[in-house]
């Protein structure tokens, strides 16, 4: 029997080891690679061409959401399962938009991960049921991609000048985008707007 080839991407070494060991106990699954950040994971997918990539969302170098989109565009034969601690409806929507076929929370029973890998490999979609219901109740993400980029940097404490320099925009343009994002979120300032957007999974 040909085993399902899996790469696991996770920036916490202990969690990475545990997830890989867990999947290796399954008779029909083989972990062919491990990665500690998004860029490593993308390179490993290109080299090893696994059936399934299991990835966290918040990782250095490249987030799991960006990684999912890159894998979809460059290596469509590999299906992506997002495994995260973040029960944020916005993350789920963005993950599905990026082409992820599975979205599970880390507090689910271990057997569910292996079963999700099998189902995704068969071409099915697997989404945490409680989060799926919440995602459709929470409404769409109001932010544009540019607003998200700017608000994320503002939430990290960067000034309009710093953000303008990074994104090759004028300070006035950055302030306009921030004002629009703050207005859309019903926040009183950029810090509150970033906090609200992060809680929803929109950042």
Check whether 201 has a pLDDT greater than 80.
Answer: no
Give the angle 11-31-115 at the CA atoms, nearest 5°: 95
pLDDT at position 200: 78
Q: Structural domain tally of the chain?
A: 2
Residue 168 sits in the same domain as residue 152:
yes
Q: Do 45 and 97 have their domain in common? A: yes
pLDDT at 139: 63
Kindly indicate the confidence band of residue 165, based on its pLDDT and cuts at 50, 70 and 90: very high
What percentage of the chain exceeds 90 in pLDDT?
67
Residue 95 belongs to what domain range?
4-137
Torsion sign, CA atoms 95, 70, 50, 48: negative
Q: Let me know: does 11 contact 60? Beta carbons within 8 Å.
A: yes
Arithmetic mean of pLDDT, 184-195: 90
My answer on whether 30 and 107 are in the same domain is yes
Mean pLDDT of 22-44: 96
Partners of residue 82 on adjacent β-strands: 55, 103
Among residues 154, 166, 162, the alpha carbon closest in space to that of 194 is found at: 154
Give yes or no: residues 124 and 155 share one domain: no
Output the domain CATH number for residue 165: 1.10.10.10
For residues 62-69, average pLDDT: 93
- Residue 84 and residue 171 share a domain: no
Tens of pLDDT along 167-178?
999 999 999 999
- The model's pLDDT over 113-161, given as tens digits with 9 standing for 90+, comes to 999 999 999 999 999 877 765 655 556 778 888 998 999 999 989 999 9
CB 55 within 8 A of CB 86: no
- Is residue 163 within 8 A of residue 145, CB to CB? The reply is no
What pLDDT was estimated at residue 39?
Answer: 96
Query: Does residue 116 share a domain with residue 30?
Result: yes
129 and 162 share one domain: no
Mean pLDDT, to the nearest integer, of 58-66? 90
Both 152 and 179 in one domain: the answer is: yes
| 183 shares its domain with 118 | no
pLDDT value, residue 137 = 56
3-state secondary structure of 70: helix
What is the average pLDDT score of the chain? 90
Q: Is the pTM of this model over 0.95?
A: no
């Amino acid at each position: 029997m040909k085993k399902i080839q899996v790469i696991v991407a996770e920036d916490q070494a202990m969690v990475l080891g545990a997830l890989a060991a867990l999947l290796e106990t399954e008779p029909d699954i083989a972990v062919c690679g491990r990665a500690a950040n998004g860029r490593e994971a993308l390179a490993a997918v290109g080299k090893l061409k696994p059936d399934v990539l299991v990835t966290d969302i918040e990782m250095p170098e490249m987030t799991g959401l960006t990684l999912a989109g890159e894998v979809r565009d460059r290596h469509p034969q590999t299906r992506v399962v997002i495994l995260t601690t973040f029960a944020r409806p916005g993350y789920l929507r963005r993950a599905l938009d990026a082409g992820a076929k599975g979205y599970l929370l880390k507090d689910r029973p271990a057997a569910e991960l292996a079963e999700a890998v099998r189902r995704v490999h068969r071409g099915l979609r697997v989404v945490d049921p409680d989060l799926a219901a919440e995602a459709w109740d929470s409404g769409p993400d109001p932010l544009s991609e540019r607003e998200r980029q700017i608000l994320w940097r503002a939430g990290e404490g960067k000034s309009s000048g710093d953000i303008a320099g990074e994104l090759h925009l004028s300070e006035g343009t950055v302030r306009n985008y921030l004002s629009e994002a703050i207005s859309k979120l019903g926040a009183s300032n950029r810090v509150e707007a970033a906090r609200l957007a992060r809680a929803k999974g929109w950042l």
